[in-house]
Amino acid sequence: MLLIDCPYCGKRPEIEFSYGGEAHVARPADPQALSDDAWAAYLYLRSNPKGRHAERWRHTHGCARFFNAVRDTVSDFFVTTYKVGETPPAEAWPRAAE
Amino acid sequence: MQSFSILSLLRRAFGGHASWQPQWRDAAPKAAYDAVIIGGGGHGLGTAYYLASEYGMRNIAVLERGWIGGGNTGRNTTIIRSNYLFDESAALYDHALKLWEGLSRTLNYNVMYSPRGVMMLAHNVHDVQVFKRHVHANRANGVDNEWLSAEQARAFCPPLNISPDLRYPVLGAALQRRGGTARHDAVAWGYARAADALGVDIVQNCEVTGIDRGPDGAVTGVQTTRGAIRAPKVGIVAAGHTSVVMGMAGLRVPLESFPLQALVSEPVKPVFPCVVMSNTVHAYISQSDKGELVIGAGTDAFVSYSQRGGLHIPAHTLDAICELFPMFRRMRMLRNWGGIVDTTPDRSPIIAKTPVPGLYVNCGWGTGGFKATPGSAHVFAHTMAQDAPHPINAPFTLERFRDGQMIDEAAAAAVAH
């Protein structure tokens, strides 16, 4: 079981949390203007990386708040967790530094 | 290929079993092939076998990063059934089931296909309605599936606890009698041996690191840890790593990879006559011919390539097993492992051409690919050889997500997603 560092409550066991999928997938501002391919990409394409992955978690059985995390999908090691609206530390996530 | 028969066994027994040859060559990669298949699991090896046997493509290779049968082919719970809801799925999975029925003879290899019956338990009103709908849909498609009362379910599987005092009592069950199990390793080995006999190179310890494309965008070959290989056709059958390999060709796929766990108990005498699955309380169980209870657990909630998962996932499944089959409460578990499964948004596979000419993909089998191995391999071989899908896999495209033509089997796959 993973130990997850909720930015509001501290470290808690994984069973207190719900997984919320990939983070930073922004809903297009004007869906009507999108092509079918672009809309399908927003709905269904995820990065699914073998490596660092930015993802949402919700501390369902704690503070009930959503937050973000960067986790390595090979080792399941949490690089960092951060609040919604924040950007992850550049060193935590190579894509953020680009 | 040394054919297996009672005479060949006797002859070699008298020779002290000294004259058996390896079942397939440990091939080194050549510089070029007519086609290359990435992934040496059951689906990939089967694809190579059918390409060679039915489409005459014998100058081909299967590239495997690890060893044959070391991935999901050797990690699943070996359940075979075809009682899927939608017409497209029923056609695909029943195509596989029909091939299972003759597979040992086709391959001259005992894959130990055992149609012992797969029973899916209903625990609430919704389950009852959904399973009855499945039974009727299956019968309309010529797929056997029948409804059992709780008493009939216990008669078919005597260890089952049908007491109304259970937290989730058994209200009935759907039974597919042609469903059952097969020996998963034997499936990989049998296809590997039969493909090798037809000239297919099976290259192990050969990880693909890149996909080469020409000026027109078409595939020209692959880069591997054992050198570059030219090939005008490349088929990706990489299960949980499909996103990674497709990314090498610059393509994104609607897949996410999750660890799916399974476990086996200590071996005991035959006590369990069939396969039992429960979507609602989330348990799968059967008994291998070796005597171990083979138990399927769930997926972890998060994307991972770690081939292991949280212990609370199998513990939850064992809670359900102990409730349904009280006689297993003191059974000890021996081993627990995970495999990485690639799931699509509609929980149906993708067996299709890709936007890159010469590149084909067979993926998205999620938590239930083993049962489809022969059918999947057969229609994918057709797709690669003819550069056009077989009628059975024509609906299983990459584009169905864009076009809204989904085959939404999320409820038919037994694992809670």
Domains of chain A: 3-26+49-92 (3.30.2270.10)
**Candidate from A40, A47, A55 with C-beta closest to B402:** A40
Q: Do B301 and A19 touch (CB under 8 A)?
A: yes
Return the higher-pLDDT residue of A89 and B395.
B395
Angle B307-B308-B309 (CA atoms, 0-180°, nearest 5)?
135
**Amino acid, single-letter form, for residue B240:** G
Are residues B312 and A14, on separate chains, in Cβ contact within 8 Å? yes
| Contact status of B306 with chain A (Cβ, < 8 Å) | yes
Q: Which residue of A has its CA nearest to B309?
A: A1
From the options 3.50.50.60, 1.20.1250.20, 3.40.50.300, 3.30.310.10, give the CATH code of B23-76+185-254+346-412.
3.50.50.60
Percent of chain B with pLDDT over 70: 98
Residue with tokens 């990989």: B188
CB contact (8 A) between residue B403 and residue A36: yes
Residue B411 banded pLDDT, cuts 50, 70, 90? low
Task: Closest CB to B305: pick one of A14, A41, A73.
Answer: A73
B23-76+185-254+346-412 and B115-179+256-343, same CATH topology? no
| Residue extents of the structural domains in chain B | 23-76+185-254+346-412, 115-179+256-343
Does the pTM of the predicted model rise above 0.80? yes
pLDDT range class, residue B414, cuts 50, 70, 90: very low
The chain-wide mean pLDDT, for chain B, equals 95
Confidence at residue B412, expressed as pLDDT on a 0 to 100 scale = 54
Please give the ipTM for the structure prediction: 0.93
Phi, psi of A79 (to 5 degrees): -75, -45
Three-state DSSP at B24 gives coil
CA separation for the pair B44, B38 (Å, rounded): 7
- Residue B135 in this model has a pLDDT that exceeds 80: yes
Q: How far is CA B112 from the centre of its chain?
A: 15
CATH of the structural domain B115-179+256-343, one choice from 3.30.9.10, 1.10.10.10, 3.90.76.10, 3.20.20.70:
3.30.9.10
> Distance between CA atoms of B413 and B260, rounded to whole angstroms?
13
Q: Quick one: average pLDDT of B1-28? A: 93
pLDDT per residue as tens digits for the range B236-275: 999 999 999 999 999 999 999 999 999 999 999 999 999 9
Written as one letter, the residue type at B296 is G
**pLDDT value for B417:** 41
Q: Tell me: the pLDDT tens digits for B265-312? A: 999 999 999 999 998 898 999 999 999 999 999 999 999 999 989 999
B303·A22 Cβ contact <8 A: yes
Residue B235 and residue B313: Cα distance in Å, rounded? Answer: 33
**Option in A39, A46, A71 nearest B256 (CB):** A46
| Closest-CA distance of chain A to residue B321, Å | 21
**Residue A95 pLDDT > 90, yes or no?**
no
Question: Residue B364: which region, alpha, beta or left (left: phi > 0; alpha: psi -120 to 50)?
Answer: left
pLDDT at A98: 39
* pLDDT score recorded for residue A96: 43
Q: Between chains, do B241 and A48 touch, taking CB under 8 Å as contact?
A: no
| Residue A94 banded pLDDT, cuts 50, 70, 90 | low
